[in-house]
């Protein structure tokens, strides 16, 4: 949708909803009765199917006990692989290149331990200064474990403006000293979508393996990791995938690397035919399942059994199209209704550069977020001055977007945000 061709009326929003091919999914989610949930890029809301899936897995445990590992409709022994079959199309991979396992940071540790192989003068890891800090903590840890000083061996690409990264700057940092590159698909603050195929091709020209953190893109943006020859990727499932708080993450390893010994071996990465031989020597699976470490968190996986099939039904391309329409509409309304109130849209405008959320900057962002919550709009705050607004396609309507902007305008007109402190809470 071209943002210049919208009408700032409620009737227009309702008209868009009436024509929305994904609108019927909204009824499958538990949404605030009088609220507007725009924080799905931090934690997606619960679906009816996810709730039922948890109940079903609990029932399996109750009825089967230990035999739940191999009996029932959803044997736990194969649950990670079953979920990988649903997950793989979202990232453009084959099912055996994906495994649902661990957490985002644990999976990064696994992949860095596997793909970071310093040799000669190639000892450094390339990342960026705008990435989510947990990724940096993990990479610093991996360097220390190899005996390297992170201050010298973790190279961070600088941002020119504090919002975005320039691919040219990333490419120019791919020197002969770089042994591994780890970047986000989408920057968590500004929502910038990086040019993944370009960066992958440039890394490979220089003989450098490259991987991506897909936490802020998987489930809202289609990827083609296999086609682009990305070496590895990892992502969470509690944001756009609606897997619930702390739900199990996932990783991808390109087929040409399958069979490679994992950097961190654990018994659930074993060849399943040999796992219960319990031999003293690790025999890895021939699939991405080799990169599992411990026993799967069956109860934390359960919501995904209900949530992921909806993505197959909706289609990730249709999800992306609606996401772009919603964010374009949101930006257009913000500019039309809130001019003069000091807001700056801090995310890319171009469809091909924009992730799934709008990054709204304001000096009073923390207290404005609190006022929004008090008025039934759930946003997300990121220091020092960013209000993230994520209209998630499966459950956010155009009318939600229209109503949220109306409430924000009223807050600014009445200056009701001034009753709150301009600092974040313990959890932002």
Binding site for pyridoxal 5'-phosphate, residues?
Answer: 104-105, 132-135, 213, 216, 238, 267, 295
Distance of CA 153 to CAs 116, 142, 205, Å?
12, 11, 21
As annotated, the binding site includes 104-105, 132-135, 213, 216, 238, 267, 295
Residue 258 φ/ψ region, left for φ over 0, alpha for ψ in the -120 to 50 degree band, beta for the rest: beta
Packing angle of the helix pair 10-18, 398-414 (nearest 10 deg): 160
Is 355 within 8 Å of 216 (Cβ atoms)?
yes
Tokens of 123: 């000892």
Alpha-carbon distance 127 to 232, whole Å?
15
Alpha-carbon distance 421 to 417, whole Å?
9
Packing angle of the helix pair 133-145, 104-115 (nearest 10 deg): 40
- Exposure string of 380-413, with b = 16+ CB inside 10 Å and e = fewer, is bbbeebbbbbbbbbbbbbbbbbbbbbbbbbebbe
Of 219, 186, 190, give the one whose Cα is nearest residue 44.
219
Q: Which helix (H) or strand (E) holds 99?
A: strand 98-100
Phi, psi for 61 (deg, rounded to 5): -60, -45
Alpha-carbon distance 152 to 86, whole Å?
41
Alpha-carbon distance 399 to 130, whole Å?
33
Is 366 within 8 Å of 25 (Cβ atoms)?
no
């Amino acid at each position: 949708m071209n943002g210049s061709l919208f009408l700032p009326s409620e009737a227009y929003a309702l008209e868009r909803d009436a024509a929305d091919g994904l609108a019927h999914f909204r009824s499958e989610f538990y949404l605030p009765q009088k609220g507007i949930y725009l924080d799905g890029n931090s934690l997606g809301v619960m679906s009816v199917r996810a709730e039922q899936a948890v109940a079903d897995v609990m029932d399996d445990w109750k009825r089967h006990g230990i035999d739940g590992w191999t009996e029932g409709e959803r044997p736990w022994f194969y649950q990670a692989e079953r979920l990988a079959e649903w997950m793989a199309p979202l990232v453009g991979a084959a099912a055996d290149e994906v495994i649902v396992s661990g957490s985002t940071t644990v999976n990064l540790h696994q992949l860095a331990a596997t793909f970071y192989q310093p040799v000669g003068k190639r000892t450094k890891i390339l990342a960026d200064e705008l990435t989510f800090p947990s990724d940096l903590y993990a990479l610093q840890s991996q360097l220390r474990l190899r005996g390297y000083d992170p201050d010298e061996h973790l190279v961070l690409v600088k941002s020119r403006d504090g919002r975005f990264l320039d691919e040219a700057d990333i490419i120019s940092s791919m020197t002969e000293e770089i042994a591994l590159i780890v970047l986000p698909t989408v920057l968590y603050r500004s929502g910038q979508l990086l040019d993944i195929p370009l960066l992958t091709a440039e890394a490979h020209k220089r003989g450098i393996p490259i991987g991506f953190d897909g936490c802020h893109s998987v489930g809202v943006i289609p990827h083609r990791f296999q086609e682009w020859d990305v070496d590895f990727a990892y992502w969470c499932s509690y944001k756009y995938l609606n897997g619930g708080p702390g739900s199990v993450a996932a990783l991808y390893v390109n087929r040409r690397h399958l069979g490679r010994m994992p950097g961190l071996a654990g018994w659930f990465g074993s060849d399943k035919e040999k796992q219960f031989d319990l031999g003293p020597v690790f025999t890895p699976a021939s699939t991405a399942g080799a990169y599992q470490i411990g026993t799967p968190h069956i109860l934390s996986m359960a919501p995904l059994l209900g949530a992921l099939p909806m993505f197959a039904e909706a289609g990730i391309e249709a999800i992306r199209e609606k996401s772009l329409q919603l964010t374009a509409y949101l930006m257009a309304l913000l500019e039309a209704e809130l001019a003069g109130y000091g807001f700056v849209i801090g995310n890319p405008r171009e469809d091909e550069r924009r992730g799934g959320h709008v990054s709204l900057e304001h000096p009073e962002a923390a207290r404005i977020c609190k006022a929004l919550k008090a008025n039934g709009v759930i946003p997300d705050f990121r220091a020092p001055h960013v209000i993230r607004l994520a209209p998630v396609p499966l459950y956010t309507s155009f009318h939600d977007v229209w109503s949220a902007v109306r409430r924000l305008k009223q807050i600014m007109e009445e200056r009701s945000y001034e009753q709150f402190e301009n600092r974040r809470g313990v959890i932002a």
